[in-house]
Amino acid sequence: MFARAFRVRANSSIKGSDRRKLRSDVAAAFPTLSTEQLAELVPNKEELNVIKIYSHKGEAITVYMNHRNPILFEAEKVLYPTVYTLWVYPDLLPAFATWPPVLQKLAGGADLMLPGVVVPPSGLPQVQRGTLCAVTLLGNRAPVAVGVATMSTEEMLAAGMKGKGFAVLHTHLDHLWEYGDKSSPPTLAPLVTDSAAMESAGDEEELQGKEPGSSCSPEPEQHVDIRDLSLRDRATCAELLGKEELHENRAAEPAEDASTEDQQEAEDSRTPQEQMDALFNQCFFHALKCKVKKSDLPLLTSTFLGSHMVSCCPAGKQLDIKKSSYKKFSKFLQCMQHQRILQVKELSRGVESIVDVDWKHPDIKAFVVPEGFSSASAGQDSKSEDREQVYHAPEIIPLYGVSTKMIPLFQESGHRKGSILSSSEVRNVIINYVKSNELVDETNKNFVKVNAILCDCLLDKSEQDEISHLKWDELLSRCLERLQPLHQVTFSGQEPVVRKGNIEPIDISIAQRSSNKKVTIIKNLELYGLDPQCVANTLQQKVQASATISPAPGTKDRVQVQIQGNQIHHLAKMLLEEYQLPRKYIQGLEKAPKLGRKK
């Protein structure tokens, strides 16, 4: 998640009520923390900041900072601890150990594969699929990564410790760690609470003919620096665990590089019915993760199967519900509904629809899209839908360029014609100019004396003989009005773009066609990173009315969306609530039909 650089969107301090809410959220997410530990993690009086960022994939993430270090991050309303927090509370999460060379791979964005997980003599921690876990390095209890288990402990052992074990979210050495003080993990000796475990470890050492000093599980009073583990020591540990084939590169290979041979062997051992069940499961989760959006709901179950699941079927395979153990698609969906993945209702007689999907369900989050999945039409659909799925309203900042007439006022601050400033920078320039030239009125400090430069820059010819003083707010507003208007647009995951003029709002209008029929016309969607075709398709599905795309009159490269009827209510809900666009950038919402009783 933080393997690549992220972009900071906002930074603010957390006040009293927000702190209390955060503390209660942390207590609910991590019930093992004591009251004292909660007060230490989320203090009452010390500085605590919240930062809104976008990851390189466009994900909106909230980061909580304490003592200049990120302590928690929140994604999709789920709280996760950072490595800085886990170094203070190393036993907050169930921990799995791996080899020191694996860390560089994890920090580069790889997931942790099961061959790279070291199985201690006392056994692996008992976790379920979707459990939040910590990753440590052999010989040190200080966590270096945070991830989500993609299978339970029983499933890991049943799979022979092969395949992907953990979807890694954050690591030591990644960009979130770099946002803090960049400290190194402390050296924490592994806990040995079971004497039997110590004895079994000693027995294994004797079997290998090694001295206790070469053991891969140091004694509790020993503090072993993970950097001192040589390749020979790691080879000894691998041999001790019966994993001669273990290699650090394989341990942290990305999810898509999982062994296909093992998968083929597993498939060959299954009956045709089991293989069809597995194919339905794969296409089901693939469709929910990559095809279906919240705006598509309610969705006919027949459309979900025929349009979405079928397009996710790998080349050379075909979905056939009769060859599965379910026999009917409705029974398959009932099974998924029992697992609380989705909800199906009969909205009209004999016709079932999917009305809700839990996209935070561990099975959906853990699903990995198969490698090599390719289909021309499906590829195009997934690209367009993915763009809409990750849409975030652009960050729009008004800027001002220094015009020729305003050069005398700004040149003292080192600016020249064409210099680009924000409103706060313009304000600072004006304040500094007024103070340096001693223009504040002595009798009333709310007024500024107008000298020759201010007169030429800010006053019209008809005003120059009449106005000798200006209020501060009027001085600033006049200055902004006479600068060249610009605006900066920053789309998620992209570099900021500065454009001339003020940004045009999304324009919504109602037009009358033949037979007194009304149509809703939407323009300027492209300026906000919205695909007009996607908007048209979504609206058409929501209101069950015809929608078309046509060139926008008076423009060269823009189009407009036209949909039958006055649909401003639906459009407003989509733009304001789903796309989170500020109301000030939407023009024409007042033309919505008035709701009331018909006379």
pLDDT at 390: 55
Query: Residue 465, CB half-sphere, CA atoms under 13 Å: how many?
Result: 2
The model's pLDDT over 186-229, given as tens digits with 9 standing for 90+, comes to 888 776 544 344 444 444 444 344 444 333 333 333 333 433 44
CATH architecture of structural domain 395-490: Orthogonal Bundle (1.10)
Query: Domain coordinates of the chain in residue numbers?
Result: 7-179, 274-366, 395-490, 504-591
Q: Supply the pLDDT for residue 20.
A: 86
Q: Give the single-character DSSP code of 557.
A: S
Identify the CA nearest to 394 among candidates 538, 537, 547, 499.
499
pLDDT at 233 over 80: no
Top-tier CATH class for 7-179: alpha beta
∠ CA 202-207-210 to the nearest 5 degrees? 70
> Residue 458: pLDDT above 50?
yes
Same fold, 7-179 and 395-490: no
- Would you state the pLDDT for residue 66? 83
| C-alpha distances in Å from residue 419, one per residue of 111, 116, 318 | 46, 55, 61
User: Pick from 560, 556, 546: which is nearest to 506 by CA?
Assistant: 560
Taking only the tens place, the pLDDT of each residue in 483-506 is: 999 999 887 767 788 889 999 999
Q: Coil, strand, or helix at residue 347?
A: strand
The full DSSP string for 243-287 is -TT--HHHHT--GGGS-HHHHHHHHHTS-HHHHHHHHHHHHHHHH
Query: Can you tell me the distance from the alpha carbon of 79 to that of 76, in angstroms, rounded to the nearest whole number?
Result: 9
* For residue 100, pLDDT beyond 90: no
CATH of domain 504-591: 3.30.780.10
For the cut 50, the answer to whether the pLDDT of residue 232 exceeds it is no
The amino acid present at 483, given as its one-letter code, is L
Place 175 in a pLDDT band, splitting at 50, 70 and 90: confident
Question: First and final CA of the chain: distance in angstroms?
Answer: 57
Q: Is the pLDDT of residue 148 over 80?
A: yes
Torsion of CA 565, 570, 576, 582, to 10 degrees: 10
In this prediction, residue 378 carries a pLDDT of: 40
Fold of 274-366: Arc Repressor Mutant, subunit A (1.10.10)
- Cβ neighbours for 588, distance < 8 A, ≥ 6 positions apart: 507, 508, 509, 568
Q: Tell me, what DSSP letter sits at residue 321?
A: G
pLDDT by residue (tens digit) across 81-98? 999 999 999 989 999 999
Mean pLDDT of the chain: 79
Highest mean pLDDT among 115-124, 287-296, 425-434: 425-434
Sequence letter at residue 379:
G
Confidence of residue 42 (pLDDT cuts 50, 70, 90): confident
